[in-house]
Amino acid sequence: MRACGVSGNKTLALRDLAAREERGEIPTLRQMATMDEDAIIAALIPIRGIGRWTVEMMLMFRLGRPDVLPVDDLGIRKGAQIVDKADAMPTPKTLEERGQRWAPYRTYASLYLWRIADAATKQATPVKRSQE
């Protein structure tokens, strides 16, 4: 696997994932469809290399959950800072509290906050074009 460019840590993570899957410790997508978000997070974060952010991305983009707000994501925090015209990004705790108002559609708020942060980044760093 090293010859394919897979690092030592990623190899350990893949082995842990495979071993847990073989032992039946990982819920299937069908099972996850009926589980709440906190149960899915609790089931997956013990796997080496999988953290809360990774599971939140899966909840949003693979399982299509409409009410996920990844408060530790820097893009989301940056988007909230821009919306608020604040000097600093909100803390995850502050963003979590604020995000309660967006329930049950926090995933959609997250998508908007990412776009706002992306748009601000593109405006802040203009690219010199060869034609100019």
pLDDT at residue 81, as a whole number:
97
User: What pTM value is reported for the model?
Assistant: 0.84
Query: 2-61 has which fold?
Result: Endonuclease III; domain 1 (1.10.340)
Count of alpha carbons within 13 Å of 24, Cβ hemisphere only?
0
pLDDT at residue 70, as a whole number:
98
The domain locations on the chain are 2-61, 74-124
Mean pLDDT by 10 residues, the chain (132 residues): 88 95 95 96 96 97 97 97 97 97 98 95 68 60
Active site residues: 73
The sign of the CA dihedral 64, 69, 74, 80 is positive
